[in-house]
Structure 1
């Protein structure tokens, strides 16, 4: 990977793209520390404690925003509204026929879908910004709590949060146009990596406890590092894993030329859904803890106390449901993204067949069976990666160290994707063509 980056840096045009991407990341980090107006900074620091948000939607948003959410800054909403908007529009393109036809209209249709996604992003930004403002108001963080000043400050704060969402969306698109990698993924990567110094500091604190007599951390801290490296290796291996279905194209004569006759394959990635099944599962299971963040019911206080305690990250019910939901959402995402019947029809239309399988319905059944098996393997991989930080944190008492399986998969996946883009662009520049 480092050799690829070094080689890319030696090419002037790629170096400009890398520098442009780094510039956007710097702008993103600057916006992540510019606080919105009309807030009491001292009260904000005393109230907004990310350690109190364990397994809540607020913790999830704070991680993806690189800590900007807990500081109520310009980019506090992060890129989450755009991600949610993309998922919603993507699902609607499957459920609503007009949007499905629009998605099949080529480049013009994709531009219209992108425009709809932007509008939905701004709408979600307004909704999330309004909800966050009321959270700040109830936490006694705002400077004005009555009269005309209350309404004016509320409008300004909500508009600033929404504007930050729109700016982040624009920054991501600028990376897509003039930089390297997927813009949204790069911003997510930057936000999560910004949490690494905090993780190193936490590890240092546990090591200090070990030196002061808590000798179990002499074993637990190195074990955490070993597990982290092992998880990164497994994710790297699984990201490139795929099942290749062999395809044979029949020969056909058109005029005086013969076409087809070659062998190929249909690649199906093992991690089909990427990180989305984990995001869906964690978002749903974080709802009870988010509600209890406002109700503040103690763990031992009757039925509801036991109910909310079961949905903490260390609760057995949370872990069981988390595992099952990841598998369920992996199958759900695969079912809406891959249509075996359409894939079989495309093969038939191009005179392609799977050796030993008849075209048409038998090919669709065969692809469906392969997808089912591959999805199960990918879902189990995601579930195990997501469960390791939870299990280790509950067993060792060290918590999740501000990073979970979702964050690790995003960081490793974005790094691999960006390196592959660099390699492909370097290959295009060194390819001499057919005329030499």
Structure 2
């Protein structure tokens, strides 16, 4: 199966540059990724980057958060918060749909116009969230002695730069998504992780000793297993048999036929992992803010939560639950069984043994719940395995490296699927 996927990947990449409009989109995306990496390496003036990097290297949580933000945090760049505020805004609004019926109706029943309005709210919420998160992080680094004391005007100036950087990356991500060759947010995170590979390899080779050999072998074995299992489960699907009645289209008659409706086991892709990391960063962010504002009661509560999350096993357990939960949540808001059922009915298709319409929609909903359960469990297990390996071996780099491998492989597969869809639209047989 892996050999077939590799062959298929090279075939897709070979066709990619043969179609002018797709080739143009690829170059646009590559240019935007270059702009992203350029922005991520422009530091805010007056910052001691060595102190910042040393602090992040000693803190596992910030190390994972740095990966999630696309390696922008370690550079203390003008876009140091990455896409974190935008993702946080999306999560907050999606959770609010459970509370406010009007927001839920707009998102689920408003069609393209409703989704566009929902996304506009997320964009508007991104800037103030970036200001708040940036203020909390800057003041936290000041209390740790990593940053020197800044005047209120210097802090405000830095916060405007940081928030503007996050909005700029959000804009880049949306332009990339509009090219329809992958998710812009995922690709920016992917580019951030890949950009750190050469430096990691150089540090590993320059500091290599025989004592590190077993650790490196363990990491490579784990990385290969992650790649194999992620590819396998991303390709896994439940095929629902579909039958077509005889149809008349113009002067042509189409006879009855059979096909199938593929339902992916892991429909959410890597999004649940990104959402879970974002949510787990909330207590730390709130703690920064409450400390800066001088609210001891709330600061003590959030500090207790942060201390709880510093326990590796508790963090892994919550991470598992959140990844599994977001797998269901994301699938529920993106997969619409009754709309699919109506489309099948309009095209003269039906599932054998079921009435078209509501009964078919109920059946598809039940099947998706079952497949999502398996996909969510798989994704959650793969996500927490690096933490369990760290607890067993005591090797911290397995956590960060394992999470990076998982995100990179998942995003690469999602992007290949998007490219394949674009090629199929142009009648290329993949």
User: How far 1:391 moved relative to its partner?
Assistant: 1.8
Match of 1:314 among 312, 316, 323: 312
Are 2:49 and 1:19 equivalent residues in the alignment? Answer: no
Structure 1 unaligned segments of length 5 or more: list them: 296-303
- In structure 2, the residue matched to 1:72 is 76
Select between 119-128 and 406-415 the one with higher mean Cα deviation. Answer: 406-415
- How many residues matched? 409
Q: What is the SS of the residue equivalent to 2:79?
A: coil
Are 2:216 and 1:221 equivalent residues in the alignment? Answer: yes
Q: What's the TM-score once normalised by structure 1's chain length?
A: 0.78
1:77-226 aligned within 5 A? 77-92=81-96, 96-97=101-102, 100-101=105-106, 104-145=109-150, 150-177=151-178, 180-201=181-202, 203-204=204-205, 207-208=208-209, 210=210, 214=211, 217-226=212-221
Per-residue deviation, residues 260-319 of structure 1 (Å, max 9, x unmatched): 844343321111232333344445555667789999xxxxxxxx999977644633x443
Q: State the alpha-carbon separation in 2 of the partners of residues 376 and 116 from structure 1.
A: 31
Shift of the 112–203 alpha-carbon distance from structure 1 to 2, 3 Å rule, reads same
Q: State the alpha-carbon separation in 1 of the partners of residues 247 and 80 from structure 2.
A: 59
Q: State the alpha-carbon separation in 2 of the partners of residues 255 and 424 from structure 1.
A: 28
User: How far 1:29 moved relative to its partner?
Assistant: 1.4
1:262-301 aligned within 5 A? 262-285=257-280
Is the 2:240–2:262 Cα contact (8 Å) retained in structure 1?
yes
User: How far 1:172 moved relative to its partner?
Assistant: 2.0
User: How far 1:190 moved relative to its partner?
Assistant: 0.6
Is the 1:238–1:270 Cα contact (8 Å) retained in structure 2?
yes
Shift of the 230–117 alpha-carbon distance from structure 1 to 2, 3 Å rule, reads same
Q: What's the TM-score once normalised by structure 2's chain length?
A: 0.79
Structure 1 vs Structure 2 CA RMSD: 3.8
Is the 1:275–1:406 Cα contact (8 Å) retained in structure 2?
no
Structure 2 unaligned segments of length 5 or more: list them: 1-8, 292-301
Is the 2:91–2:275 Cα contact (8 Å) retained in structure 1?
no
Bigger radius of gyration among the two: 1
Shift of the 4–127 alpha-carbon distance from structure 1 to 2, 3 Å rule, reads same
Is the 2:181–2:422 Cα contact (8 Å) retained in structure 1?
no
Q: State the alpha-carbon separation in 2 of the partners of residues 305 and 342 from structure 1.
A: 45
User: How far 1:246 moved relative to its partner?
Assistant: 1.5
- In structure 1, the residue matched to 2:367 is 370
Match of 2:381 among 364, 380, 384: 384
